[in-house]
Chain A
Amino acid sequence: MVAPFLNRDNPEQIRKRLLLHVRVRWAVLTALIGIGTGYQLSGGDIEINRGTPLDIIILIVSVNIIIWAAVRYIHSASILRIMTLLQITFDLAVFSVATYITDGPASPAVILYCIPIVISSALLDAAAVYFTAITSTAFYALVLWLTQIASGRSDWPYTYTSQIIFFGLVFVIMAYVAEFLGNLRRNEEGERVQLEMVSLATHQLRTPATAVKGFLSLLQDGDMGKLNADQRDFIHRAYEENEMELRLIGNMLDVAHLDLQQLNFHPEQVDLRAMIVSLAEEHKLTSTKRKQTLILNIPESPVIYRCDEQLLRMAMDNLVSNAVKYGTPTGNVKIGLRELTHKIVITIEDNGIGIARGDQRKLFKRFSRVGSDSSSQVEGAGLGLYLVKKIMSIHDSKIDVVSYPGEGSIFTIELPKRKP
């Protein structure tokens, strides 16, 4: 299910909700037809004062097809945002026509149609909820005016008071939903401020650590006078410790940036094949140093996929550098890319120390590092896989690991293909 909070700048998310809503409308239509047929079969007679039940069905079907077609082929966030308002307007039109045809808010057509309206406004946006509440009041007033005053009818079965109560209730519920969504947004703001603080703090941690690195490296090189073996050893250790701290700070920054970026997701058409080739190029230096062979199992033609390039690259980079780091020297690191009908599968395999079954579950948690005897020589996985997992969930993708101690590990990323 989708989260209640809508990121207005994320077209994928808006699209998903709009499509979900189209499905809700199909469900309502089916229910209406079902109830109608059932009622008719059981000997009841559907009372329709103006038009036929077919009119309502045709109306809903055509509206739904228009929205579905539009949503499917639009990629711009701003147009999709307008679509959300437009679709509520459509819904209200159907709602009003249904009320007009059946002569009252108590008919199944009208009551059932309330469901998509409430769901749609709740799923979309706090502003949309207010918009719905206000316009629906206006529409309803129009319907009342048409049925009662304009046509001079007096056989309307509902009292004026009951209609006011009905509408009052609808309005209160909608306002409540709007308030709820507004609160979510405010919390999100709070989280953003907090993340920015973390980001700032880590920056400030980084500056002194960089200075320490500078001083130590000048001492280490013997530029400030000759050192004896112990002094050199100690300074070397201090330098390495500091390097570890710098790496950790770098990871913390990445996590904070990622959390910020999640609110700011930018998908575009990316050639995954080219991405993997350039990643392999980057890691060649380290892997050659460790006498490892980097093997690419990739198709010959580009593999285009809609994703946030920076994020996906960050994830892949983490996985490949882990494979190089934890892979045995003189071993292989294999990167595979395969395009299937419904998904794209990327695999990163090493024949290194492997991960014990019990540790595999902990792997993707924040600040976890898998403890195995031989991994103690390699430092700082820490946040890396947590980052990867997070990036994958932003992309609605799965990451999976198969690993046996002594055999190595294979990480599998599964990117679902979206409709074009």
Chain B
Amino acid sequence: MAKVLVVEDYASLQKIYKTALAMQGHVVDVANNGDEALDYTGKKEYDVILLDMLMPQTDGLSFLKIFSVRHRDAKTKIIAFSNLTTSELASEARELGVSKYLAKPALTPKQVAAEIDAVLKDSN
């Protein structure tokens, strides 16, 4: 069981990931955008953050930039995912500490959950 923060602006996808992760026994919080996510991460330490890269206002990259400065020592693993799988965005995200970059349309929620488990296993 892990503490997971899902950062996603699209309501249906929030519901999907929340359901899939809860079924795996994880505790899930949902943030609508980067700003909200920064609020959450300020209050609580998460094991995994599932981060959508394309969001209105504070997007994934801006969140990563601020998060990497504010929580430099945190053990939180970050998995970024996006509709847009350009190599530039992916490599920029990796430089900012993202452990995995997933292509949203290619994966089912179960596969995303499996990716989270894999990342957690790696860190232990």
Q: How far is the CB of B87 from chain A (nearest CB, A)?
A: 8
* A217:B108 contact, CB within 8 angstroms: yes
- Closest B residue to A246 by beta carbon equals B105
Interface 1/0s, chain A 189-210, versus B by CB < 8 A? Answer: 0000000000000010011111
Expressed in whole angstroms, the Cα–Cα distance for A217 and B17 within the complex equals: 12
B74 at interface, CB cutoff 8 A? no
Residues of A within 8 A of B12 (CB): 208, 211, 214-215
Q: Is the interface of B mostly helix, strand, loop or mixed?
A: helix
Q: Given the complex of chains A and B, what is the CA–CA distance between A207 and B23 in angstroms?
A: 23
Residue of B nearest to A249 (CB): B105
For the complex formed, measure the closest distance between the CB of A335 and the CB atoms of chain B, giving whole angstroms: 23
Query: Are B23's CB and A214's CB within 8 A?
Result: no
A213 to B109, CA, bound (A): 9
- Contacting residue for B105 out of A209, A215, A310, CB 8 A: A209
The number of residues on chain B lying at the interface, defined by a beta carbon within 8 Å of a beta carbon of chain A, is: 17
B residues sitting closer than 8 Å to A (CB atoms) are 10, 12-13, 16-17, 19-20, 23, 54, 83-84, 87, 104-105, 108-110
Q: How far is the CA of A223 from the CA of B110 in the complex (A)?
A: 10
In whole Å, how far is A145's beta carbon from the nearest beta carbon of chain B? 55
| Docked complex Cα distance between A209 and B16 (Å) | 13
Residue of A nearest to B81 (CB): A210
Using A203-B83, A217-B110, A218-B109 as known contacts, list a sample of 9 further A-B pairs with CB atoms less than 8 Å apart, ordered by residue number in A. Answer: A203-B54, A203-B84, A207-B13, A208-B12, A211-B13, A214-B13, A217-B109, A246-B105, A310-B87
Cβ A213 vs Cβ B105 within 8 A: yes
Of all chain B residues, which has the CB nearest A211? B12
Q: Within A206-252, which residues are at the interface with B (CB < 8 Å)?
A: 206-211, 213-215, 217-218, 221, 223, 246, 249-250
CB distance from A203 to the nearest CB of B (A): 6
Contact (Cβ within 8 A) B13 A210: yes
Please give the residue numbers on chain A whose beta carbons come within 8 Å of chain B beta carbons, in ascending order: 203, 206-211, 213-215, 217-218, 221, 223, 246, 249-250, 310
Chain B residue, CB-CB nearest to A206: B83
Is the CB–CB distance between A223 and B105 below 8 Å?
no
Which one, A206, A218, A246, A250, contacts B16 given CB within 8 A? A218
Cβ-defined contact, A221 with B83, below 8 A? no
Which of B10, B13, B23, B105 lies at the interface centre, i.e. has the most chain A CB atoms within 10 A of its CB? B105
- Please classify the interface of chain A as helix (H, G, I), strand (E, B), loop, or mixed, using the class held by over half of its residues: helix
Is A218 a contact of B105 with CB atoms below 8 Å?
A: no
With A203-B83, A223-B23 as given contacts, are A214 and B16 in contact (CB-CB < 8 Å)? yes
A-B pairs, top 9 by smallest CB distance, nearest first, are A214-B16, A211-B12, A217-B108, A210-B105, A214-B109, A246-B105, A206-B83, A210-B104, A211-B13
B109 touches A206 (CB 8 A): no
18 contacts between A and B (CB under 8 A): A203-B84, A206-B105, A207-B83, A208-B12, A210-B13, A210-B105, A211-B10, A211-B13, A211-B16, A213-B105, A214-B16, A215-B12, A217-B109, A218-B19, A218-B109, A218-B110, A223-B19, A250-B105
By beta carbon, the residue of chain A nearest B23 is A223
Do B20 and A218 touch across chains, with their CB atoms under 8 A apart?
Answer: yes
What A residues does B20 contact at CB under 8 A? 214, 218, 223
Chain B residue numbers with a CB within 8 Å of A211 are 10, 12-13, 16
Nearest to B109 among chain A residues (CB) is A214
Give the chain B neighbours of A208 by CB distance below 8 A. 12
Across-interface contacts of B13 in A (CB, < 8 A): 207, 210-211, 214
Residues of B near A246 (CB, < 8 A) are 105
On chain A, the residues within 8 Å of B54 by CB distance are 203
Q: Which residue of A lies closest to B84 (CB)?
A: A203
Interface centre among A203, A210, A223, A249 (most CB of B within 10 A): A210
Docked pose: A276 CA to B121 CA in angstroms: 34
CB distance from B2 to the nearest CB of A (A): 19
Chain A residue numbers with a CB within 8 Å of B105 are: 206, 209-210, 213, 246, 249-250
A248: min CB distance to chain B, Å: 11
B16 CB, nearest partner CB in chain A, Å: 4
Q: Across the interface, which residues of A come within 8 angstroms of B23, CB to CB?
A: 223
CB nearest neighbor in A for B14:
A211
Q: In the complex, which residues of chain A have a beta carbon less than 8 angstroms from the beta carbon of B19?
A: 218, 223
